[in-house]
Amino acid sequence: MRILLIEDDRVLGEAVRDQLAADGQSVDWVDRLDAAGAALATTPFDLMLLDLMLPDGRGLPFLRRLRGRGDATPVIILTALDQLSDRIEGLNAGADDYLVKPFDLAELSARIGSVARRYSGNPNPFVTHGPLEVDLAARVLMREGQPLTLTAREWALFEAFLARPGQLLSKSQLEDKLYAFGAEVEPNTIEVHISRLRKKLGPGLIETERGLGYRLARA
């Protein structure tokens, strides 16, 4: 997923960024609301992590403005505000989840996965696709009863395909799932990852439309 992290605490921001990168997510990190607005205007993010107290304003009015203009990007609030009234206000403003600082980074990863699954239309972490059995929460993949091991990047691509079986994903769309702004991307990076993923998943599961992109074959 491509995730926008809006957080001005450097230590926490680095920890969250590194955790999500280890999960195979692409993270764009900004520390001001104006930078967040500029990023959202140019990039389709899969999810947003929003602090409520930023140097140039409060997160809740920013969230209300997003929802008011029809932006449905999933949002998880990350904040030190821990009163019940704060949680209620955040959820009523349009947040999908609310996590109080300090929090466990593994819990953050789990909540991101849960919110993403709800938006994909299937909150169940257990998915079967042809010969594949997948536990998205535990990141366990089996093919005909045999475990398969994927790297973080391969998981990111596999999840992107699994969320849209049969739908063509362009090379640029797949790159957006893997890399944040400014990251160096080799010209054949996607092709290399796709080739490795094909070898692990087995023949016929990932199809190529030459010059257009790739798709996960329908089960």
CATH of the domain at 81: 3.40.50.2300
CA count, 13 A, side-chain hemisphere, 57: 15
Distance linking the first and last C-alpha atoms of the chain: 23
Do residues 78 and 183 both lie within one domain?
no
Nearest-angstrom CA–CA distance, 31 and 59: 11
The stretch 69-77 carries a mean pLDDT of: 94
Do residues 49 and 89 both lie within one domain?
yes
Do residues 82 and 156 both lie within one domain?
no
Do residues 198 and 116 both lie within one domain?
no
Q: Which domain holds residue 177?
A: 126-216
pLDDT in tens, 173-206: 888 877 765 566 777 889 999 999 999 999 899 9
* Distances 179 to 22, 52, 145, 182 between C-alpha atoms, Å: 12, 26, 32, 8
Q: What is the CATH number of the domain that holds 165?
A: 1.10.10.10
Cβ-count burial 26-44 (b if 16+ within 10 Å, e if not): bbbbbbebebbeebbeeee
Do residues 108 and 58 both lie within one domain?
yes
pLDDT score, position 94? 95
The stretch 165-178 carries a mean pLDDT of: 88
Do residues 130 and 38 both lie within one domain?
no
Structural domains of the chain, count: 2
Count the Cβ atoms, other than its own, within 10 Å of residue 18: 12
- Tell me the sheet residues that pair with 28: 4
* The pTM of the whole model exceeds 0.85: no
pLDDT at 59 over 90: yes
pLDDT in tens, 101-143: 999 999 999 999 999 888 877 777 898 999 999 998 888 999 9
- The closest alpha carbon to 95, from 48, 131, 136, 53, belongs to 48
Do residues 24 and 98 both lie within one domain?
yes
Do residues 7 and 83 both lie within one domain?
yes
Q: In the 8-state DSSP scheme, what is residue 73?
A: -
Tokens of 113: 């996965």
Do residues 114 and 14 both lie within one domain?
yes
Least confident of 31-40, 155-164, 182-191: 182-191
Choosing from 120, 146, 168, the residue where a domain stops is: 120
Do residues 135 and 84 both lie within one domain?
no
Structural Rg of the chain based on CA atoms: 18
